[in-house]
Structure 1
């Protein structure tokens, strides 16, 4: 047996001695790598001998060929003309790089389907393919929650690598809304309407400077040129309460135009349960509050648009979105003030019921155009959008005391908020010879926000105006920006540098209950630098390093500025702070990617005038506290990320990663110095196991240890989700069964030691759910469709 093994080894070594490894790379007319090109090689002397392969994400295909031989090459890819060439292996050291030309007609035969990586690195952006996550989600908000490396808190904020939340963009347009309003929009979007998610931790000068926490851009699918196609999807998930959804997506494309229509209905219901124990300023007294809330809601969403190729150089498009959300909440609080030594002694006891009913609708209309100067990628882009968001709501509450005396009072209120945002931008990009690229642009945005709130209070059967909660507030914002940046490649090196100039005008006026105003008019410069270098190769794949630095700003949104008190219960209320100043961040990050997949990053944020949520004690009543926002001082955030994965295309694929963040605060709160340091670990993972050609199992989750959120110290908590995906009827019907929060671990206890507030508590919600999603694909696809970039089921011959 040993001799046979030795003979095989010697024979194989002999073959290797007379063969050589050949790399062939395919690019498009812009020199961008082409993924998934089918490559066929035939021996010119023995045409029965042939080799097949597919290009990877860098556009490369690799073969072991005999030395001093001639091979006939054929290559094909959807949307490109068939290509042929001769490969002569006697040409030592020759680099084989071929350019495929665009063609409206491609191969008529269907070849293979290949899997896209879940995450790829593209300069300063991480691109997430949402397809593996869409079957596990009922809306876009859940899909973002499942994206590895993103953390979404229970208030709807999305965090990347900073204690500041990321800015949310949809189709490259910033959503200037508060977290609850953005969450409502994302929950109305069907998950399969998303083409990709762009994670930009340190945005370039071409993006808004108001992104100190990074940016998440949700790119929606438009008229993808696949003929006449459509998708019907429906599903439910059940916890203590249930969610249901149904939707349809339609696409139609011709040679020079395409259109799409998305319709979706979503019904949701969940609960939130919390407990809060606070030490009062008075001696030996604690305030204990238990709260239970139910949140029924439904939403209707429609998205529609069209794209037109007016010529080979000019493209224009229109996109529109309409959404309506009806959100309700029923909250019951039980509160008591007790002796902290002898809990049997009660100084006060009451119940409180609150009912909220809010309807909001959003209308977004946008037009865009792109003019191509040449085939290298030089272009001029224009985008303009008009966004209207209105919220109309009402609240009723009733408070009943039993200790020290039986007394009750109630109140009611109505509010109307409206926001109008107009934004337009013009971006210019030109590619010069010798790999020099110039980018510049202009942008303007104008936002108007009006808020009117009227409350009444009823005591002893007498109803009167509640002057404390009645409020009227107007807000105006105008931001004008200009940027310029240039990039240059020097062999293995890429350097991009630029700057963005922004003028900010903010005006706020409260007319009720008193006439107060604030005004900001300032101009700031935000420099940016990006440096990239090929480090070395591992098994023919590039290991590339990046160094990125930028200055950014965080402007308070209108929710943080609006001073009107929002009633929670008789012991706590919420109010904005119209005197908030902008927050500035200087970020520097170094990271490494392997084959365009991010694997490691280390960075630091220097934050000045940081504003965050704080809880303060009411000066007139020690039992009452209120949540607001304040500028506290400065914070230094140091972090690193580590990511590892098994490459896609096999039966088993996984991504696993970790992030550590260390915060060092220094400032003042309630006229007292505040300093603290805290480190937090986060772990996240995503797994896919392909059982057979039609079935897959997915597992994803995260875990955080000793978390820090603003000034709240959180206990360990996490989430683990499991789903099984099965395809039927020639892969047209997809059925997914899923289980969210398997171990019911997405709940936590917290501690708050801040100024005069010393409190502990816990929070949990309706996070553990079982559900089933059904999706059916229909329609007539183009006959020349050969390569499905969105098939995540591995590399199977059709």
Structure 2
């Protein structure tokens, strides 16, 4: 607000400083606490008195009226300054401001010769032709079209610096577009920098130690995320991400899925007017990328087109030492492996929005994504009992993880008055996956002894329709309610082929083919109520009911998976202790339904020592969450500290068990373990050391206790438990240098992570980036280096159970240096953002207006008292 106030002063200083002050107050509804007549509250917005004129200004009975509109869109320009200039002295003698429909009028004008001068932030000053006012003149100037000031727009962009990390009433916001080192990367590179999140070397994301989260893209779910979060993140270019929102305590309006919380990735959306083309390119030792994004916006219609491609290369090595109980004897297995990854990712988007009328808007989007992950592996495995060699095998494996996805949505929103609106949204999402491998089996002399092939085709489809309504009650209360229907389908077909030597591949009798058809239908309704007290308390209470119907069958049988229903309550309370300190407390219950890979019954034996297979009989897990947080600002440093606790029943967890058919083989599957208790804390800060130097970082840690069942020595299930502490931290510093240069350094470390059957190893990462703005900030050239010291990152994992013990080590050679280039072609002018709504299978409304519109606080909400959602 202060920034816009100063810009208004600068824009209007050529008229009168008093006139500029009046224009700014008229725009923002008056100064805090009211003010003199003509400035305070709503009255100031309806009519502003001209203060740049002395009391002895000549009076008469002349009148002038008209309307100010944008020269391109034709939309009214609200609260702009209109000055009546004396032609002889070139000084203003009277004036006013336009109302919320752009209309203006001046009365009691004395006879004379005048001009009108129009001015407002974001527009060029405009002078009318001279005209004469005679006694009784009623002059109607009609619609006056104000041209946008493109030069001034550039100044607004330069000075409008948002903090890297912001805390909103119900979420934490990471402004990714300020992070220069992630250019040329993907979404997983961005999420590594977000407080409370951890991203491992495979791209798997966890929130406060839990991987049971919901990830949205522009407030919408996607089947690519449902199939694999790690794969989905690799398809989203880092350069297109505006913010990442972390919501740890969703209200009843959010879908109940996501036990630990919700992550919403908001991509950059054009809010300007005109035609542009953005080019983003990068080349590095591990990956290269090219992106083209164009937009056109004219009048009521906006169209966007975009394409992005990324090709990568990486190398990894691994070792495994394992002891397995086979009968009454211990079998020792060791394996040395290498892998070469060649992934190619791409996505293409098209969208449009159209303003049907002043209070109605329609929008649609279509997105197509493709993923081609090709990996070549070599595996040298030996097995022995009592120091006697049982076997030595050599396998050359080619893995192909291919996918294509499409997301389409059509949305309509009707606004009746501020905060009162109704919307209906629809979405169709479909992902097809191919998860195949072929292996050549070699002896120690590298002679082919046989071949093996696994073919696995999957389909994940989702259709959603939802409607939402919200309305204010009095001035400090908000009521929201709505309903939703989701229809999901998961299909998987798989089979194994095998041959001896160079023979023809045929069905493998030891690994029969199979299929899964899984249908899930969800019906939901919610009601939420927000109340803001005069003492700066904000209460948001609500409940959500969800019914889930499931039908599932394999190739040979129907699975008995019962339907279930859940009542999901939530309570959020915030208190503004003073202008800089806020205390928040929250409770909610969440549901985590199993994902595609957790359900897929295909036994993927690309590495027979580490076979993975899903469990189609998985049940959802239920989690109760509590959270207490305190945020404050001390001079130029923002601090946030929080305590949290999670109690989970039927937690979905990976379980490792010995293979029944392959001695020494380990099967990784999923089960609903008994209980999981997690207690933790996190602290982070954001400090502005100087106007050009900022530092931010934090520490987080949690204690977890897990209890579940696993096969025992006698074949019966035995109860096992494990507990431990995990600690992590990050540090980032950004420096703005002279002549358009900027620099950034980032580091992250995550300690060992307790699992039910052992401990996942620690890992770290760091990066350094430099960037130079070019062509008056239309483009930039950057250089970034990641993990450039040493020889990559090593992660060691230990697994233990009554039947096995295993130590696996993965070494990732991920040192990287990359050059990035961006450039913007085209001419844009400022335009007011249109209201929009969209399907959101966690019903997330983006803070800040991206992808769903920002909700304003009730009129009676005190400053700093929080914004109801």
User: What corresponds to 2:208 in structure 1?
Assistant: 161
User: What corresponds to 1:301 in structure 2?
Assistant: 347
Are residue 719 (structure 1) and residue 765 (structure 2) matched?
yes
The CA deviation at 1:167 is 1.1
Q: Distance in 1 between matches of 2:121 and 2:560?
A: 61
The CA deviation at 1:178 is 6.1
Deviation digits for residues 647-670 of structure 1, max 9, x if unmatched? 498110121111011101123222
Please say if residues 503 and 522 of structure 1, whose CA atoms lie closer than 8 Å, have aligned partners that are also in contact.
yes
Deviation digits for residues 179-230 of structure 1, max 9, x if unmatched? 7644333322222323322211121111111110211112233442243222
Single out whichever of 501-510 and 515-524 deviates more from structure 2.
515-524
Q: Distance in 1 between matches of 2:469 and 2:336?
A: 56
Q: Distance in 1 between matches of 2:572 and 2:478?
A: 13
Give the superposed CA RMSD: 3.6
Change (3 A) 1:636 1:59: farther
Q: Distance in 2 between matches of 1:668 and 1:124?
A: 37
User: What corresponds to 2:828 in structure 1?
Assistant: 781
Please say if residues 274 and 296 of structure 2, whose CA atoms lie closer than 8 Å, have aligned partners that are also in contact.
yes
Deviation digits for residues 151-180 of structure 1, max 9, x if unmatched? 112343321124233211112222345676
> Which structure shows the bigger proportion of residues in strand conformation?
1
1:352-431 alignment runs, 5 A limit: 352-374=395-417, 376-402=418-444, 408-431=449-472
Match of 2:178 among 111, 119, 132: 132
Change (3 A) 1:439 1:262: same
Q: Distance in 2 between matches of 1:230 and 1:37?
A: 32
SS at match of 1:646: strand
Please say if residues 223 and 431 of structure 2, whose CA atoms lie closer than 8 Å, have aligned partners that are also in contact.
no
Please say if residues 565 and 575 of structure 1, whose CA atoms lie closer than 8 Å, have aligned partners that are also in contact.
yes
Change (3 A) 1:358 1:284: closer
Are residue 669 (structure 1) and residue 701 (structure 2) matched?
no
Match of 1:687 among 733, 738, 742: 733
Q: Distance in 2 between matches of 1:84 and 1:589?
A: 52
User: What corresponds to 1:478 in structure 2?
Assistant: 521
Change (3 A) 1:310 1:674: same
Q: Distance in 1 between matches of 2:246 and 2:77?
A: 28
Please say if residues 451 and 505 of structure 2, whose CA atoms lie closer than 8 Å, have aligned partners that are also in contact.
no
Deviation digits for residues 264-322 of structure 1, max 9, x if unmatched? 12112222322111112154642111121112121231111011111110011011101
Are residue 749 (structure 1) and residue 796 (structure 2) matched?
yes
The CA deviation at 1:39 is 6.3
Q: Distance in 2 between matches of 1:776 and 1:711?
A: 50
The CA deviation at 1:463 is 4.3
User: What corresponds to 2:301 in structure 1?
Assistant: 257
The CA deviation at 1:391 is 1.9
User: What corresponds to 2:753 in structure 1?
Assistant: 707
User: What corresponds to 1:326 in structure 2?
Assistant: 372
SS at match of 1:186: helix
Q: Distance in 2 between matches of 1:130 and 1:690?
A: 16
Q: Distance in 1 between matches of 2:220 and 2:466?
A: 10
User: What corresponds to 2:122 in structure 1?
Assistant: 106
Q: Distance in 1 between matches of 2:772 and 2:448?
A: 60
SS at match of 1:173: coil
Are residue 506 (structure 1) and residue 506 (structure 2) matched?
no
The CA deviation at 1:708 is 3.0
User: What corresponds to 1:519 in structure 2?
Assistant: 561
Change (3 A) 1:249 1:393: same
Please say if residues 121 and 598 of structure 1, whose CA atoms lie closer than 8 Å, have aligned partners that are also in contact.
no
Q: Distance in 2 between matches of 1:584 and 1:278?
A: 34
Change (3 A) 1:495 1:100: farther
User: What corresponds to 2:381 in structure 1?
Assistant: 335
Please say if residues 182 and 239 of structure 2, whose CA atoms lie closer than 8 Å, have aligned partners that are also in contact.
no
SS at match of 1:251: strand
Are residue 599 (structure 1) and residue 645 (structure 2) matched?
no
Deviation digits for residues 478-520 of structure 1, max 9, x if unmatched? 1111111000100210000001100011222110xx3342323
Q: How many residues align?
A: 717
Match of 2:605 among 543, 557, 567: 567
User: What corresponds to 2:43 in structure 1?
Assistant: none
Deviation digits for residues 393-420 of structure 1, max 9, x if unmatched? 54211223449x9983321232322222
Q: Distance in 1 between matches of 2:30 and 2:324?
A: 67
User: What corresponds to 1:281 in structure 2?
Assistant: 325
Q: Distance in 2 between matches of 1:630 and 1:305?
A: 41
TM-score scaled by length of structure 2: 0.76
Q: Distance in 2 between matches of 1:667 and 1:185?
A: 30
Change (3 A) 1:746 1:707: farther
Change (3 A) 1:688 1:406: closer
Please say if residues 79 and 105 of structure 1, whose CA atoms lie closer than 8 Å, have aligned partners that are also in contact.
no
Match of 1:205 among 237, 248, 252: 252
- Any gaps of 5 or more consecutive residues in structure 2? 33-49, 53-75, 84-96, 103-119, 125-148, 712-716, 833-847, 850-869
Change (3 A) 1:194 1:382: farther
TM-score scaled by length of structure 1: 0.83
Change (3 A) 1:488 1:504: same
Deviation digits for residues 321-356 of structure 1, max 9, x if unmatched? 01222221111111112467x6xx633211112112
**Pair member with larger Rg:** 2
